[in-house]
Amino acid sequence: MEFIIPLFIGITVMFGFIRKVPVFTAFAEGAAKGLITLYKIMPTLIALIIAVNMLKVSGAMDYLCTLLSPIAEMIGFPKEIIPMVLLRPVSGSGSTALLTQIYSDCGPDSFAGRVASVLCASTETTFYAVTVYFGSTGVKKIRHTLWVALLADLTAAVMAVVTVRIFFSI
Amino acid sequence: MRIIIDIVESGGKMLSFVWGGIILISVIFAGFSQNFAELSQGVLDGAGDAVSLIITLAGIICLWSGIMEIGERCGFTALISKALSPVLSRLFSGISRESKAYKYISMNVSANLLGLGNAATPFGLSAMKELNTLNNNSSVASNEMVLFVVMNTASLQLVPTMIGSLRQSYGSTSPFDVLPCIWISSLCALLVGVLLACVFNGTKSRENL
């Protein structure tokens, strides 16, 4: 799968040439948009990384993980993932902070690192999406939206563990 | 990409609660286990770590936003939305395929699939506005609205560039080896979401009859 990034970039640039898009200008403008996004999320990201780091060094994270590990073990989850499952639908910055924490503690190629990657990539910040989309309309009763979305998130969490176990035969 | 785009958080009460809660729990816990020295070091380290993560992310984000901008101008979104129309027109059979709402929905879903988070959200908001009009600006969400938002809370993406890049920068030997896992689990989540939304939509509309 090492070829995927170069291939993806190559195909995009090639299409750019075919469609006569000024590729360099487009890239630079896109990069500028990206930096603006990053600038906007920086305070949130810093705030949540500090909080997650505090949770870890205080020993509270370990305690929480150990406390929840019987449940985690029962359903075959690595215990490092539990905080992630809880935080993912609420906060994108928070789960990025947890993700990098797991990467530096267990390594990105560890079982926990892989499951965390799959979990992060296959779910969305559910509460945020529901708030933003319904917030833009005058809808007060969202009916079953939130429950269904959260059940989908749970499915992703279970499938993250299952697929990583199957594909990496752990 | 989307994991980063969507973290421009709404600043709602929920996050204040979560953030404040984490900090309070940490301080109280450190009090019980008497490791204030470590905690005070940890706070400062966390702030430093945050900045180095942001620097790592800055490069990755620039790279992918730049590439995605090229893709967007090539009309990738329109291409994918054509390919998706057999599925989408069945899911949203309640609205006409010529309507603005359908067009925005299809563009939003396609942009999401390509990981064009920047493009997907404006399409999504326009779609909700149109759906709201079709719903006579009622205060109760329509079936289509529920389904559409549920689809947006799932995150099916062809090439999850952000996760791959992050894994690589943390020293993964093969950052994209989790790709099949990501496809399968996000597809399952999307299917469960769509299926449940349709089932509940069905029972609800029968109640109304």
Which residues lie below 8 Å from residue B106, measured CB to CB, with a gap of 6+? B81, B84, B85, B88
> What pLDDT score was predicted for residue A16?
94
Nearest CB partner across the interface for B14, out of A122, A127, A145? A127
- Note whether A63 and B55 are within 8 A (CB): no
Contacts of B194 (CB under 8 A, 6+ apart): B91, B147, B150, B151
Separation between Cα atoms, residue B178 and residue A163, nearest integer Å: 9
Provide the Cα torsion B18, B24, B26, B28; round to 10°.
-150
- Inform me whether the pLDDT recorded for A67 exceeds 70: yes
pLDDT in tens, B4-50: 444 444 445 677 888 899 999 999 999 888 888 889 988 888 888 88
Nearest to B66 among A30, A57, A118 (CB): A30
Pick A91 or B167 by higher pLDDT.
Answer: B167
Q: Given CA atoms B85, B88, B91, B92 in this order, what sign does their dihedral have?
A: negative
pLDDT at B3 (0 to 100): 43
Give the C-alpha distances (Å, rounded to integers) separating A76 from A80, B80, B177.
12, 37, 21
Q: Mean pLDDT across the stretch A70-77?
A: 84
pLDDT of residue B193: 96
For residues A53 and B42, the answer to whether their CB atoms sit within 8 Å is: yes
- Which of B4, B67, B104, B207 is best to mutate for the A interface (most A CBs within 10 A)? B67
Contacts of A128 in chain B (CB under 8 A): 6-7, 9-10
A92: pLDDT strictly greater than 90? no
Q: Which of B141, B155, B186 is closest, CB to CB, to A141?
A: B141
Contact B190, B151 (CB under 8 A): yes
Angle between helices B36-73 and B100-114 (to 10 degrees): 120
- Which of residues 21 through 60 in chain A touch B, CB cutoff 8 A? 21, 23, 26-31, 33-35, 37-38, 40-42, 44-60
- Tell me the C-alpha distance between B207 and B88, whole Å: 25
Q: What is the pLDDT of residue A15?
A: 92
Angstrom CA distances, A39 to A33, A45, A46, A84, B5, stand at 10, 10, 11, 24, 11
Please give the model's pTM, rounded to 2 decimal places: 0.87
pLDDT digits (tens, 9 = 90+) for A113-145: 999 999 999 998 888 888 888 888 878 888 999
Query: Which among B135, B159, B174 has CB closest to A8?
Result: B159
**Tens of each residue's pLDDT in chain B, 209 residues:** 344 444 444 445 677 888 899 999 999 999 888 888 889 988 888 888 888 888 888 888 899 889 989 988 998 888 889 999 999 999 998 888 889 999 999 999 999 998 877 778 889 999 999 999 999 988 899 999 999 999 999 878 888 888 988 998 899 998 899 999 999 999 999 999 999 999 998 875 544 43
User: What are all long-range contacts of B80-84, with beta carbons under 8 Å and residues at least 24 apart?
Assistant: B80/B110, B80/B113, B80/B114, B81/B106, B81/B107, B81/B109, B81/B110, B84/B109, B84/B110, B84/B113
Give one DSSP letter per residue of A127-148, joined into a string.
HHHHHHHHHTS---B-TTHHHH
Closest CA of chain B from A142, distance in Å: 5
Residues forming beta bridges with residue B140, ordered by sequence position: A141
Q: How confident is the model at residue A74 (pLDDT cuts 50, 70, 90)?
A: confident
Q: Which of A13, A16, A140 sits opposite B139 (nearest CB)?
A: A140
pLDDT in tens, A16-57: 999 999 999 999 999 998 898 888 888 888 888 898 889 888
Q: How far is B32 from chain A (nearest CA, A)?
A: 10
- Which of B5, B7, B10, B112 best probes binding to A when mutated, by most A CB atoms within 10 angstroms? B7
Average confidence score pLDDT of chain A? 89
- Determine, for residues A93 and B132 on separate chains, whether the beta-carbon distance falls below 8 Å: no
Chain B environment of A49 (Cβ under 8 Å): 46-47, 49-50, 53
Q: Return the ∠ at Cα A30 (arms to B51 and B5), rounded to 5°.
A: 55
Cα–Cα distances in angstroms (integers) from residue A110 to residues A40, A169, B173, B209, in the given order: 32, 12, 11, 53
Q: Most confidently modeled of A68-72, A110-114, A130-134?
A: A110-114
